[in-house]
Amino acid sequence: MRHPNPRNRRAAAVVGVGHTDWVRDWARCRNGERPNDSYGYALEALRNALADAKIGRDEVDGLIAGPTTAYERLGELSGINPRWGDQADAVLAVAQAVMAIEAGYAEVVALVYGNDQRSVGTQYGGPEAMGGNAFLSYVYHSPWGFTSQGALYALTLQSYKHARGFTEAEMGEVSVAQRGWSALNPNAIMRKRITLEDYLASHFVCEPLHLFDYCLINDGGVALIIAEAERAKRMTDRPVFIEGVGRFDLNRGATSLEPRIDDFYLPAQQSAAAQSYAVSGLGPKDMDILQVYDSFSVHVPLALEGYGYCAVGEAGKFLRESRIGPGGRLPLNTSGGHLSETYMQGWAHQIECVRQLRGECGERQVAGARHAHYTSDVAGKCFSVIYGR
C-alpha cells in the first residue's frame, strides 16, 4: 500500500469548536417539546464555534454540512457563501476539510451538524428505519425483520465473543468507564455512575447487548472551524493540528455483514491506522487519549485491537487490567461518548479531542495531553484521525 506523503503533516488545524446545550434539549424533548429543527441546532452550534474561533462568518470560505441538512440550504441560512463545500458525516468531513485546504479550494472551513432525531422520533430500527432508505445496508434485511442496528451489533458481539473468548463482564467495563467520565462532564446527559454489577443486572435489549451498551438518541448540533495551518497560527494561540488521517473501506460483502461478523473490521482498521501513523510519525504509545465512535459499546474492543492498542484477542484483558475510565492507563471516550454524553454521530468526539488538547475539560482533564486519536468503523469504512498540539 502507498501511504500518504509525510510532508502533508499539519496542513490544517482546528481553531474553533461549538455545540448546543444537549442537557437542556434532552429535558425539553422528554417534556414533549420540539425545541428546534436540524437547521436550528446546526446554526446554534456554528454560532458558538465562530465565537470560540473569534472570527466572523465572512472569514469562512468552505462549508461542509452534516448528512441531516442540505449543504445549499445551510449556506443560505447561515449567511455563508463558500467557494467550496460538500456534505459528509463527521470523520469524512474532517478528512475532506484537510484535502480541500491542501488542494487550495478553501482556507477556513466550517463543519456543521444538526440533528432533531429525538424530537421527531427518528427510527433506527424496524420496517420504516430512517424512512426505509435503501442506501442503508441494514434495511436490505427487512424481509427477515432484521433492520435494527442494535440487532446487527448484537450479532457482531456474539460472533466476537465466540472468536476471542470475550466475556459479558469485559464488555461491561466499557459502559462503566464511560459513565465514570460523563459523571465529570457538565455537558453530559447521563451523569449517574454505574457499577459492573449494575451493568450485568440491566436488561438485554437485543442479547448480548444490554441497555447500557446502546447509545443515546437526542437532539443537538456540533460545529468545528478548520483552517490552513499557517493561517490557524495567526488566528489563535491554541490551534489543534490534524497530524494524520487514514481511511480504508471494506465493501465486498458489506451488505451481507461479512466485514463486521467475520473479521470485525480488523483489516480495514489496521490499514487506516498504518496510514495515519505513517503521516503523523506517531503510534498508539504516543497517544494520551483515544476517542472511539461508539454507537454501541462493542466498537471499543474492536478498535483497541484494530488500531494496535493491544494484541488481537487481548481486548478483554486490556479492559480488565488497564482500565479506560478516570485514572486508568488509557483515557478513552473521556466525555462519556455516545453511550453517556450525547449521540452526535461522531461529531462530539472531535470536540472532545480538541478541548482535551487545549486543556479545557475541568474535572475530566487528562493532564498534559498532547495527542488524541479518533477512530471510526461504521458500515465497512474505517477512519483514523490524529490530533496534536
Kindly state the average pLDDT of the residues 298-326.
Answer: 97
Q: What burial letters (b/e) apply to 6-26, b meaning 16+ CB within 10 Å?
A: eebbbbbbbbbbbbbbbbebb
Joined grid coordinates for residue 345: 454521530
CB 250 within 8 A of CB 267: yes
pLDDT at 5 over 50: no
Query: pLDDT category, 224, cuts 50, 70, 90?
Result: very high
Residue range 95-130, pLDDT digits in tens: 999 999 999 999 999 999 999 999 998 888 766 666
Strands (E), 253-361: 289-292
Domain of 235 in residue numbering reads as 6-121+216-388
**What pLDDT does residue 144 have?**
67
Task: Report the SS3 class of residue 251.
Answer: coil
Pairing status of strand 371-378 against strand 381-388:
antiparallel
Has residue 172 been placed in a domain? no
- For the chain, give the percent of residues with pLDDT over 90: 84
Distance CA 360, CA 33 (A): 32
Task: Report the SS3 class of residue 11.
Answer: coil
**What pLDDT does residue 135 have?**
53
Has residue 254 been placed in a domain? yes
In the chain, the number of structural domains is: 1
One-letter amino acid of 321: E
Q: Which residue would you say has higher pLDDT here, 307 or 130?
A: 307
Has residue 171 been placed in a domain? no
Kindly state the average pLDDT of the residues 208-237.
Answer: 98
**What pLDDT does residue 127 have?**
63
Residue range 69-90, pLDDT digits in tens: 999 999 999 999 999 999 999 9
How many of the other CB atoms lie within 10 Å of CB of 262? 14
| Span between the terminal Cα atoms of the chain, in Å | 29
**What pLDDT does residue 107 have?**
98
**What pLDDT does residue 130 have?**
60
CB 264 within 8 A of CB 389: no
Residue range 191-214, pLDDT digits in tens: 999 999 999 999 999 999 999 999
Has residue 131 been placed in a domain? no
Residue 22: give its domain's CATH number: 3.40.47.10
**What pLDDT does residue 7 have?**
43
Has residue 182 been placed in a domain? no
Kindly state the average pLDDT of the residues 230-255.
Answer: 93
Kindly state the average pLDDT of the residues 214-237.
Answer: 97
Has residue 144 been placed in a domain? no
Has residue 230 been placed in a domain? yes
pLDDT at 236 over 90: yes
- For the chain, give the percent of residues with pLDDT over 70: 93
Has residue 64 been placed in a domain? yes
pLDDT at 32 over 50: yes
Joined grid coordinates for residue 371: 495527542
Query: pLDDT category, 137, cuts 50, 70, 90?
Result: low
